[in-house]
Structure 1
Amino acid sequence: MSNDSTITLQYPIEKEEYIKLFSLGPMIRKLKYFVIVANILVIVISYFSVQFVRALRRKEEMVLFDLDFIIVSAILFLISFVYSHFKYKNVINKIGEESYQEKFSGDFIFKLEYDKSIGEFLIKNRNLKLPVDNQMKILKTERTLFVYWRKGMKGKMFMLPRYGDSDHVSKLNVILNDLQSRKKVKFKEITNKI
């Protein structure tokens, strides 16, 4: 990498920000939708199974749409959804915290280089190169940029804090301006909630 076009950043990784980075990752978000679909399937299958058993016991024809039972099923779905969402969030936060402890605890300093001439990030701690292309997505919060490259199990992620000394902030602005000018990277503003 040539020095004229290379921007080097070094910064610590904050635990709370890393957990947000982890929980907003593409694989984790897909898992969230899987949990929702699984809840719906369980309730629908349970509804029709109970209706079938009721019909067999009474030796009557099966009633597909019993209003009282639909209301009970909807309430059970809401309870199940809230419970699984709460458990899902706790499990993801715990896994994110364990991942943070494994990778970034202690006096760890994240070292990142960005080469403007070819549009590529180099994560020096892992000797990993990530090209700036249409597989990159950046979620922007007030405090941090969450960078995801590729979806799926082989996806990579890192974060760029938007706070720090004036040198860090000015370098980050140069990187951000270059990324936006390339028009390959997808940007999305998000709120600070997880």
Structure 2
Amino acid sequence: MSNDSTITLQYPIEKEEYIKLFSLSPMIRKLKYFVIVANILLTVIAYFFFQFVSALRLKEEMVLFDLDFIIFCTISFFILCAYTLYKYKKIINKQGEEIYEERYSDEGIFNLEYDKSIGEFLIKNRNQKLPADNQMKILKTERTLFVYWRKGMKGKMFMLPRYGDSDHVSKLNVILNDLQSRKKVKFKEITNKI
């Protein structure tokens, strides 16, 4: 790497921000939708099971659309969703905290290089190279940039704080300008409410 095109950043990783980075990752967000679909399937199966059992018990023909029972199942679905998503969020936060403790509690400093000439990040802590291409997505919050590369299980992620000394902020602005000029990286603004 040539020195004039390489930007080096070193910064601490905050636990709360890392947990947000982890919980907003594409894989974790996708799993949340699977939880909702599983709740829908569970509710539908329970509805038809109880309708079938009721018809057998009363020795009547099974009624497919019982309005009262549909309302009950709909309310049950929302309660089940609220409970499972609450538990899911707690599990994800705990897992994010464990990964943070494993990776960053000892060293505490994240080392990152960006090579403008080829548009590539080098995460020195993990010795990983990530090209700034169409597989990269950056979520912008007020305090931090959450960078995700690829969506699946092999996806990588890191964060760039938007705060710090003037040197850090100016280097970050140079990186952002270069990324936006390449027009391959996707940017999305999000609120800090998670």
Range into which the TM-score falls when normalised by the shorter chain: over 0.9
Alignment of structure 1 residues 84-103 onto 2, 5 Å: 84-103=84-103
Q: Which residue of 1 aligns with 2:150?
A: 150
Q: Which residue of 2 aligns with 1:168?
A: 168
Q: Any unmatched runs of 5+ in structure 2? A: none
Q: Deviations over 1:51-84 (max 9, x none)?
A: 0111111111111110110111111111101100
Q: Which residue of 2 aligns with 1:36?
A: 36
Distance in 1, matches of 2:176 and 2:24, equals: 20
Is structure 2 residue 81 aligned with structure 1 residue 81?
Answer: yes
Distance in 2, matches of 1:160 and 1:77, equals: 39
Shift of 1:145: 0.3
Q: Which residue of 2 aligns with 1:108?
A: 108
Q: Which residue of 2 aligns with 1:191?
A: 191
Amino acid of the structure 1 residue aligned with 2:105: S
Distance in 2, matches of 1:5 and 1:33, equals: 41
Shift of 1:106: 3.2
Distance in 1, matches of 2:118 and 2:107, equals: 31
Shift of 1:127: 1.1
Secondary structure in 2 matching 1:4:
helix
Q: Which residue of 2 aligns with 1:128?
A: 128
Aligned residues: 194
Distance in 1, matches of 2:117 and 2:124, equals: 18
Secondary structure in 1 matching 2:126:
coil
Q: Which residue of 2 aligns with 1:23?
A: 23
TM-score, normalisation: structure 1: 0.98
Amino acid of the structure 2 residue aligned with 1:100: Y
Compare 107-116 and 15-24 and name the one that shifted more: 107-116
Identical aligned residues as a percent: 84
Is structure 2 residue 181 aligned with structure 1 residue 181?
Answer: yes
